[in-house]
Chain A
């Protein structure tokens, strides 16, 4: 079937990529049958606030929804929520539903997302041990976030540190346990790691790096302590695990679709089956500005791939592929990240970290590949353009704070 002639489109998954694909398909003029099958009970919602404002109780659940329920009716979208998809039958172009029905498709979009990497230690199944990924996770965790209680957070990535900031602000005693020698080790440079470790320490969070979790101890089925490999016992009323996520690729893999740490897709978000697309956390995509492929765990990526899949299915021109970007809110610090810093050969700091307002630029062969901007939107926004341009940049010029970022970006473009 040529692109643009689809009559039945099915989306599996109900997160950001799925919500974007629905919108882009209808905006793109698609009027055929459109069905979303998602295993969560809630309408598609934003995940970032789960480890930020929503965890603190500052945001109502309804405000997390991308669209109110009436929108799905207006757009004539069939929402099969709380519904599991055990299998894709590619030969007959249909998905099987948990209750035995079949749902035929002309095009299928897999937006199955990711799941928390399980804690590989004894005691991980005790009560009081939590993940932080879904609304249901927060509903279980939030009532236990009571001032004075002791929470041990396993993993000092963005989720772990955002949760640490929220827990601290709610008056809990917070300890973060990290296997790597520094916080945020997988995602950023030592400069940022040091800055965030110092900030959390200043806020009263105890951070233990370079330590291995041995197991969790419990009393009457409830967690009571996290025990480290060298024997230290950290008493805990609550444990939160944030040690990364795994792509939900099994559905695709079992259907014979090519996967390798994610469902492999091309620039149009198309998998090895031309009738099946994949978008968001579950997909491994070409990173066109970086000359390689990989998975991105971000809002921007989910939105962009949702748009790419919809456009390809409808036979519309490919939407622009933007520089990857991310953000993290901790205390009063807004971190905005553009690009991917892996493989940098030079980094320079603009501004003074002590002022809580600075940016770290990462360069490779004289061009910028990433920025970490703390409370510095101009550095973030200008860098997005600089990274995409591939312009050769002089590190000394980048850190000259007497020249506004806007001018630096304009000069590089000239």
Chain B
């Protein structure tokens, strides 16, 4: 279990309980966190679940696979802490994670 805080582009915060093994994207979608579309449902096929991860948690969020890296390269407003949230698996180590959602996924 991990508590994850989602911060919208306008600063609104929501903290949610996340089960281990789910993706950060699933946690957001199940709880209707705005700003994440996740059209492909987590297949790493669409790049519409882009988030910014608290830099302190980048290591805990896990290694980026080649596929994710090249998808992110085409997202809008990419930053060094950009990730596709469907590719981040919830673990105990992510307790306290803060992720910020972009204004738009397109």
A16 — nearest CB in chain B belongs to which residue?
B41
User: Contact string, B15-34, partner A, CB cutoff 8 A, digits 1/0?
Assistant: 00000001000100110100
Cβ-defined contact, B43 with A378, below 8 A: no
Contact of A377 among B39, B41, B70 (CB under 8 A): B70
Take A377-B74, A406-B74 as given contacts and tell me if A329 and B47 are in contact as well, using a CB distance cutoff of 8 Å: no
Stretch in A31-39, A63-71, A272-280, A289-297 with 4+ CB within 8 Å of B: A63-71
Contact of A378 among B29, B39, B45, B73 (CB under 8 A): B73
Number of residue pairs spanning A and B whose beta carbons lie under 8 angstroms apart: 50
User: With A and B bound together, what is the CA distance between A329 and B43 in angstroms?
Assistant: 9
- Whether, in the assembled complex, B71 has its beta carbon less than 8 Å from a beta carbon of chain A, the answer is yes
Cβ-defined contact, B45 with A381, below 8 A: no
Contact of A48 among B32, B43, B73 (CB under 8 A): B43
User: Contact string, B72-95, partner A, CB cutoff 8 A, digits 1/0?
Assistant: 011000000000000000000000
Contact of A68 among B30, B40, B67, B71 (CB under 8 A): B30
Cβ-defined contact, B40 with A320, below 8 A: no
Cβ-defined contact, B74 with A299, below 8 A: no
Cβ-defined contact, A406 with B73, below 8 A: yes
- Whether, in the assembled complex, A334 has its beta carbon less than 8 Å from a beta carbon of chain B, the answer is yes
Choose among A327, A376, A382 the residue with the greatest number of B CB atoms under 10 Å from its CB.
Answer: A327
User: With A and B bound together, what is the CA distance between A406 and B74 in angstroms?
Assistant: 8
Cβ-defined contact, B41 with A49, below 8 A: yes
Cβ-defined contact, B43 with A377, below 8 A: no
Q: Among residues 50 to 79 in chain A, which have CB atoms less than 8 Å away from a CB atom of chain B?
A: 52, 63, 66-68, 71
Contact of B106 among A63, A320, A325 (CB under 8 A): A320
Contact of A71 among B26, B32, B39, B47 (CB under 8 A): B32
* B106 partner residues in chain A, CB cutoff 8 A: 320, 322
Taking the closest CB of chain A, its distance from the CB of B65, in whole angstroms, is 11
Q: Among residues 30 to 68 in chain B, which have CB atoms less than 8 Å away from a CB atom of chain A?
A: 30, 32, 39-41, 43-47, 67
Choose among B47, B67, B71, B74 the residue with the greatest number of A CB atoms under 10 Å from its CB.
Answer: B74
Cβ-defined contact, B44 with A378, below 8 A: no
Cβ-defined contact, A375 with B39, below 8 A: no
Cβ-defined contact, A334 with B39, below 8 A: no
Taking the closest CB of chain B, its distance from the CB of A20, in whole angstroms, is 9
* A382 partner residues in chain B, CB cutoff 8 A: 74
User: With A and B bound together, what is the CA distance between A299 and B42 in angstroms?
Assistant: 12
A64 — nearest CB in chain B belongs to which residue?
B41
User: With A and B bound together, what is the CA distance between A67 and B40 in angstroms?
Assistant: 14
Q: Among residues 321 to 365 in chain A, which have CB atoms less than 8 Å away from a CB atom of chain B?
A: 322, 325, 327, 329, 334, 336
* B22 partner residues in chain A, CB cutoff 8 A: 63
Take A71-B32, A299-B39, A303-B39 as given contacts and tell me if A381 and B44 are in contact as well, using a CB distance cutoff of 8 Å: no
A49 — nearest CB in chain B belongs to which residue?
B41
Cβ-defined contact, A377 with B71, below 8 A: yes
* B29 partner residues in chain A, CB cutoff 8 A: 66-67
Contact of A334 among B30, B32, B41, B44 (CB under 8 A): B44
Take A67-B30, A68-B30, A71-B30 as given contacts and tell me if A327 and B71 are in contact as well, using a CB distance cutoff of 8 Å: no
User: With A and B bound together, what is the CA distance between A300 and B106 in angstroms?
Assistant: 14
* A303 partner residues in chain B, CB cutoff 8 A: 39
* B39 partner residues in chain A, CB cutoff 8 A: 299-300, 303
A45 — nearest CB in chain B belongs to which residue?
B41
- Whether, in the assembled complex, A189 has its beta carbon less than 8 Å from a beta carbon of chain B, the answer is no
Cβ-defined contact, A336 with B30, below 8 A: no
Cβ-defined contact, B67 with A375, below 8 A: yes
Q: Among residues 73 to 131 in chain A, which have CB atoms less than 8 Å away from a CB atom of chain B?
A: none
* B41 partner residues in chain A, CB cutoff 8 A: 46, 48-49, 299
* B26 partner residues in chain A, CB cutoff 8 A: 63
Cβ-defined contact, A381 with B74, below 8 A: yes
Taking the closest CB of chain A, its distance from the CB of B91, in whole angstroms, is 17
Cβ-defined contact, A334 with B74, below 8 A: no
18 contacts between A and B (CB under 8 A): A46-B41, A48-B40, A63-B22, A63-B26, A66-B29, A67-B29, A67-B30, A67-B32, A71-B30, A71-B32, A299-B39, A320-B106, A327-B40, A327-B45, A334-B43, A334-B67, A377-B47, A381-B71
* Inter-chain pairs besides A325-B46, A382-B74, 14 sampled, C-beta below 8 Å: A48-B40, A300-B39, A322-B106, A327-B43, A327-B45, A329-B43, A334-B43, A334-B45, A334-B67, A336-B45, A376-B70, A378-B70, A378-B74, A406-B73
Query: Chain B interface (Cβ within 8 Å of chain A)?
Result: 22, 26, 29-30, 32, 39-41, 43-47, 67, 70-71, 73-74, 106
